[in-house]
Amino acid sequence: MEANGFVSRRVDTPSVDAGVAAGAAGADIRWLGGRILDATEGFVGGLSPPRITAEPDFTAVLQLRAAPEPTVAATETEIDYEGLPQGVATSTHMLAGAVAGIMEHCLMYPIDCVKTRMQSLQPEPGARYRNVMDALRQIVRTEGVWRPVRGLNVMAIGAGPAHALYFACYEKLKFSLSNVVHPGANSHFANGMAGCMATVLHDAIMNPAEVVKQRMQMYNSPYRGVSDCVGSIWRREGPGAFYRSYTTQLTMNVPFQALHFMTYEYLQELLNPHRQYNPSSHVISGALAGAIAAAATTPLDVCKTLLNTQEALAVHAEVPGALGVGASVGTASATGGRHISGLWEAFRTVYRMGGGSAFFKGVQARIIYQMPSTAISWSVYEFFKYVITKRQYERRLHHRDGEK
């Protein structure tokens, strides 16, 4: 009988590994996440088969017996919050994911604004910055204290549902694919695949919000607000403009999320092998995973920024004299010019205007943005997952005590 992720069994046969049989033969043990613990929660060893199933082969080896009812004092040690996907509704993941996504994007939004500007291929003199802190100081001094958070509301609106689907899809697929690829154990390949699939849903919701956000973040942005930006893009460029960079964003985010999730899960195995709620391990793993993935995919992010902003000087680069001296860099929608579409055209434009180094414009800001962003996202998500699981466990325990 299972009790909160623990299964009690009695070892009666020599089929158990010698190291386990010597210390636990005939004694009460507990099976948790591929490990065997004795009645005092101490580690005893592991079984030769990597996983216990309901197949007849194992019934002769391990005989199931009822686990003792947990006491209130044992609540903290017996909560297996990593077991949440198997026993809790998808809405739990969606709630935790939505809160994590909104906090991640809102707290780091000023750095995201700096990143967008530093990726400009031909910035105006007033928008040329030495580093992230210099950019923030100049923006606040010359454009006002609220300028770095312009467009924050549209990002918060998009981040909630996008991250809700993102984390719910990832958690479900992670366990399903792991059981196929490597039954009974964690699979880095399955984690990466789950992250890639979850990204498709995430980007489908976030892409329109990204377009509006980056247009409003640009220097000399001509839009008065979010509604003005949305209306102007719709009238001048059509609804397709909101998804012009979708394939590029997927091309960037699929390898980004694969690296991100694989690195995070790998670091969790090193720093938190028992998969308990450990805030410091979630923060460190999330930050390092975000930094590595961000640095590796910066060239694609530069192309995505160009497709979203349609930077006017880049759009008219093939037409000499199309923009006179002193023309605003702005966005193409403000000038009514042609549009850059497709990853290949974006790559070609970036290389023609800045050479190979242009593909790494804003890499410092991107890493500085992604490290705390992913750390915040994972730590908030794991915290909410733990709290929700703990409350549901206590509710079940209270209900069980009331029936006695």
Digit-coded pLDDT (tens) for 12-27 = 444 444 444 444 444 4
Write down the pLDDT at residue 287.
93
117-126, 215-224, 264-273, 299-308: which range is least confident on average?
Answer: 117-126
Write down the pLDDT at residue 46.
40
End-to-end CA distance of the chain: 18
User: Rounded mean pLDDT of 166-180?
Assistant: 85
User: Rounded mean pLDDT of 69-95?
Assistant: 54
**Strand pairing partners for 64?**
9
Which of 11-20, 89-98, 154-163, 339-348 has the highest mean predicted lDDT (pLDDT)?
Answer: 154-163
User: Rounded mean pLDDT of 262-276?
Assistant: 88
More confident residue, 323 or 124: 124
Phi-psi region of 33 (alpha: psi -120 to 50; beta: other; left: phi over 0): left
More confident residue, 140 or 276: 140
Write down the pLDDT at residue 67.
45
Say whether pLDDT at 207 is over 90: yes
User: Rounded mean pLDDT of 189-203?
Assistant: 86
- Amino acid at the residue 363: V
Cα gap 2→56, rounded to integer Å:
19
Nearest CA to 303 out of 387, 374, 247, 226 is that of 247
Say whether pLDDT at 49 is over 70: no
Return the axis-axis angle of helices 246-271 and 279-296, rounded to nearest 10°. 140
Residues near 229 by Cβ (< 8 Å), separated by ≥ 6? 151, 212, 215, 216, 223
Answer for the pair 75, 394: CB distance below 8 angstroms, yes or no: yes
pLDDT band at 68 (very low <50, low <70, confident <90, very high): very low
pLDDT by residue (tens digit) across 321-357? Answer: 443 333 334 444 444 457 888 889 989 999 988 899 9
pLDDT band at 312 (very low <50, low <70, confident <90, very high): low
More confident residue, 109 or 277: 109
Residues near 203 by Cβ (< 8 Å), separated by ≥ 6? 162, 246, 249, 250, 253
Structure token digits, residue 322: 């199309």
Write down the pLDDT at residue 317.
55
Residues near 138 by Cβ (< 8 Å), separated by ≥ 6? 126, 129
Angle at the Cα of 16 from the Cα atoms of 15 and 20, rounded to 5 degrees: 155
Say whether pLDDT at 188 is over 80: no
Write down the pLDDT at residue 313.
61
Write down the pLDDT at residue 397.
84
Write down the pLDDT at residue 341.
81
pLDDT band at 88 (very low <50, low <70, confident <90, very high): low
Say whether pLDDT at 295 is over 60: yes
Write down the pLDDT at residue 404.
65
DSSP 45-86: E--SSS---S-HHHHTTEEE-PPPPPPGGGHHHH--GGGHHH
5-9, 109-113, 211-215: which range is least confident on average?
Answer: 5-9
pLDDT band at 183 (very low <50, low <70, confident <90, very high): confident
- Tally of CA atoms within 13 A in the half-sphere of 45 that contains its CB: 14
Answer for the pair 341, 307: CB distance below 8 angstroms, yes or no: yes
pLDDT band at 314 (very low <50, low <70, confident <90, very high): low
pLDDT band at 360 (very low <50, low <70, confident <90, very high): very high
Nearest CA to 8 out of 75, 65, 72, 70 is that of 65
User: Rounded mean pLDDT of 302-308?
Assistant: 90
Across the chain, mean pLDDT equals: 75
Say whether pLDDT at 230 is over 90: yes
More confident residue, 70 or 207: 207
Say whether pLDDT at 36 is over 80: no
